[in-house]
Structure 1
Amino acid sequence: MKAPALVAAALGNTLRSKLRTALTVLAIVIGGFTLTATSGLSAGISQTVDDMVAGYGEEEQLFVMNASAMGMGEDAGPGPQEYDPDSGGQTSEFGQEMLTEEDIEFIEGIDGVTNVDPIFFVSPDFLETSDGEQYQLNDMGIPANGPTMDLVAGELPEREAMEVTVPDTWLTLFDDGEDHQNIDPEAALGETVEIGISNMAYEQESVEAEIVGVSTQNLAGSGGAPMPSHALNDQLYEIQTSGSGVDQPDAFIQAMADVDNLDANLDQVTGELQDAGLVGLTLEDQLGIIQGVIDAIAWVLYGFALIALLAASFGIVNTLLMSVQERTREIGLMKALGMSSGKVFGLFSLEAVVIGIFGSIIGVVSGLVVGFIADGILTGSEGPLGDVGGLTLFALDPMALGVITAVILLIAFVAGTLPAARAARKDPIEALRYE
């Protein structure tokens, strides 16, 4: 029996008991579906992270923070930490330890660092629109967030200009119509606002700024609050620390360090920062935290899918063992007519592979269909994740799909070897006598 005839016979034999085959295939479909959905989820989040990193541009920068603020200091751990009166550090209103002027000078002195941009922490009180209405400003972004932001209109604030971006959830403040649905983000561009902030004596002052961009909150959490330019942020900080009659030492929530040839100097620069109790993160490092969480979830789902495929393999063994039992006389006849044990083994192994092919095709295709539909629904404009800018939940990964299909076929083949070996060992005379 030639190979094409062997394949045709395997296909026909598989379809003899349609219900039994269908139930076995269903178990494989569940595993294939889960593997496909999981790989698509992982690929979607990876694509989102890659897009955000690509949007960062050509600048080679590190986000530098105090290691203790990241929970990475030598004494970091659960419970209260010992107070060091010689540290000279300050904390933000959220308890985050700040960088000092000495820290900034140290960063500037590291070989390979060409420029350091310290970022002040400010906590404004309100934002006032051109019609005099004031709105509480519970949160304010920092200029360092600029590279990670996803803009739906306009551009990022220029460094030395008194400019600000606002999130798309604030667009209703700049819409004169009664219907606030589908507001054009361009409507807010060019608007002038006043940002009010209290000094150390609890006296309020305000600074005028122009809206130059509209952002949408993305997966990294950036873009969900107004973000000032460096000049505006510095002006607000100057007001915030005035009024006490006592000079306040400057403190910075973080610093942006430009590094010459970042890829080559990354280990050396981050090593020196670590020795000084600081931590330097690239944008990819920061977004990698999100990627790490998704990867951990993906591996758990991969585990469940493999368990499902393991259960399906026992179904294949059971199906083919029953088939061998039912076709004992047929096997004896084939051998009596000159079919070798190797071809008998190949026939039953092919039947197992055919079951795997059916299961993998249905599982992978259904996983892709459900994945893309779910992505469209969840991340669409009306979906629960529609406000998360630049988010892709599900993406096609051809290499992963190829691996999934190969794994399913391998499992099916291995599962079919036991029944196939049993069939190949049948004695033709004894098989023909079987009732």
Structure 2
Amino acid sequence: MRPADLVSSAVTSTWRGRLRTTLTVLAVFIGAFALTLTSGMGIGVNRYIDDTVAAFGAANSLYVQKSQPLLEMSAGTGPRTYDPDSTQIATGFGVSFEGLSSEDISTIEGVDGVASVEPVYNVAPSHLVSAEGERFQLTLGIPVDGEGLQMVAGRTAAEGADEIAVPDSWVADLGFASADEAVGGTVEVVMTNLAEETRAYEATVSGVTQASLAGVAMNPIPSTSFNERLYAYQVSGAAQPVPASYIMARAVMADPAQAPAVQARLEEAGMIGSTVEDQLGMFRAVIDAVVWILNACAVIALLAASLGIINTLLMSVQERTRQIGLMKALGMSGPKVFGLFSLEAVFIGLLGALIGATTGVVGGTWLSRVLAEGLLSGLPGLSLFTFRAPTVALIVAAVMAIAFLAGTIPAARAARKDPITALRHE
């Protein structure tokens, strides 16, 4: 019997017991469907984390602080109204936060493995005034976080200009009808100096930022030059010059692999350095753990389906005992009988895998779109399920391999049958 005849015979024989085969295919379908969805979720969420990592900065950047700054985040709910009688302003002087000094910056520059250092001034505005005169509390984001941010409209704040990028959740409160309309609009950043004098600085809205997984872009982010200009006024008005204070510094490493060694040297100097991966590594670890658990459940479902394949083929072997005896009497070898029943198992696995994977891709894509417009609308850019053709093909191949292994038991039993005994079977 030629290979093509074996395949044709296997497909035909599979449907002798239609109900039994259908139920077995359904069991395989459930496992393949679940495995397709869980793998798609892992790809989708990890891709979103990668995009968020890009928003933090380059992989060779190390963010250095003296201690963790006490920034008050907006939590993505829009700006809070400013009340001069109740809103406390932390200027960075006399509060629990200790910034980096010029000596600290020099220390960082002298660490082996650090190519350059970009300090960020500790700026604490009094409040922000919208174009319509509304006043809101304001905590500025860190300018170096502006690199790689995902934008809803416009662009990040340009160096050398008094520009600021505002979060999407702030647009309506600032009096703009849409993100596109906000671009090019103006707001005022009000500063208080050491002499208790106030001054308003007009800033152009350069763009509108998208919310991210780890809180980047939750607050307005100015350009580095605008941030420095605000700081210069903040420390003015004192009888004596005020030493420079930096909220953090970004150290650019020549080689990202040197990060652990550089972090150790900084720790010896009383500073903490964290990479982009350090800041988001926990998210990735949790997501990967959840996906692995879900994948394990899907594999268990496939193993249960493999028992169905074994049962289906064992019953088929029992029912076709005389047919097996006849095939062997006519010259069909044991290996070919084995191959015939193995092909039946693979065909069942292929049917279940194709239907399950196709349903998983179509259903997951639709569900991603629905969730992006509903429950997950607060995380723009997140596609919960993302499917890649090689991954889906690998799932189909894996299911077929499991089906083949499950089919070896009944196939071996069929191959070992004695033709004389089989022909006498009633």
Normalised to the residue count of structure 2, the TM-score between the two structures is 0.83
Distance 1:231 1:342, change over 3 A: same
2:134 equivalent in structure 1: 133
Distance 1:203 1:21, change over 3 A: farther
Aligned length in residues = 406
Aligned-residue offset at 1:316: 0.9
1:359 and 2:352 correspond: yes
1:262 pairs with 249, 255, 265, which one? 255
What letter matches 1:196 in structure 2?
V
Aligned-residue offset at 1:342: 1.3
1:145 equivalent in structure 2: 145
Give CA-to-partner distance per residue, 1:120-168, whole Å, 9 cap, x none. 444444321233222333x432212212421222222234433211112
What letter matches 1:24 in structure 2?
T
1:36 equivalent in structure 2: 36
2:25 equivalent in structure 1: 25
Contact 1:92 1:121 in 2 (8 A): no
2:30 and 2:95 map into 1 onto residues whose CA distance is 47
2:298 equivalent in structure 1: 305
Contact 1:10 1:350 in 2 (8 A): yes
1:427 and 1:358 map into 2 onto residues whose CA distance is 32
1:427 and 2:422 correspond: no
Give CA-to-partner distance per residue, 1:99-138, whole Å, 9 cap, x none. 444432211112343432222444444321233222333x
Contact 2:131 2:175 in 1 (8 A): no
Q: Which runs of 5+ in 1 are unaligned?
A: 71-89, 177-182
Which is worse superposed, 213-222 or 31-40? 213-222
Contact 1:148 1:220 in 2 (8 A): no
Aligned-residue offset at 1:411: 0.9
1:73 equivalent in structure 2: none
2:305 and 2:101 map into 1 onto residues whose CA distance is 61
What secondary structure sits across from 1:15 in the alignment? helix
Show the 5 A alignment for 1:186-205: 186-197=180-191, 205=199
Give CA-to-partner distance per residue, 1:302-332, whole Å, 9 cap, x none. 1111111111111111111111122222222
2:384 pairs with 360, 368, 393, which one? 393
Contact 2:57 2:145 in 1 (8 A): no
Aligned-residue offset at 1:369: 0.7
What secondary structure sits across from 2:300 in the alignment? helix
1:108 and 1:384 map into 2 onto residues whose CA distance is 45
Contact 1:53 1:283 in 2 (8 A): yes
What letter matches 1:297 in structure 2?
V
1:376 equivalent in structure 2: 369
1:202 and 1:34 map into 2 onto residues whose CA distance is 63
1:111 equivalent in structure 2: 112
Normalised to the residue count of structure 1, the TM-score between the two structures is 0.81
1:40 and 1:94 map into 2 onto residues whose CA distance is 47
Contact 1:121 1:237 in 2 (8 A): yes
2:309 equivalent in structure 1: 316
1:242 and 1:110 map into 2 onto residues whose CA distance is 32
> What is the identity percentage for the equivalent residue pairs of Structure 1 and Structure 2?
47
1:17 and 1:41 map into 2 onto residues whose CA distance is 36
1:406 and 1:276 map into 2 onto residues whose CA distance is 54
What letter matches 2:132 in structure 1?
D
What letter matches 2:297 in structure 1?
F
Distance 1:296 1:421, change over 3 A: same
Give CA-to-partner distance per residue, 1:355-389, whole Å, 9 cap, x none. 1101110111111111211222222xx33323433
Q: CA RMSD in A?
A: 3.4
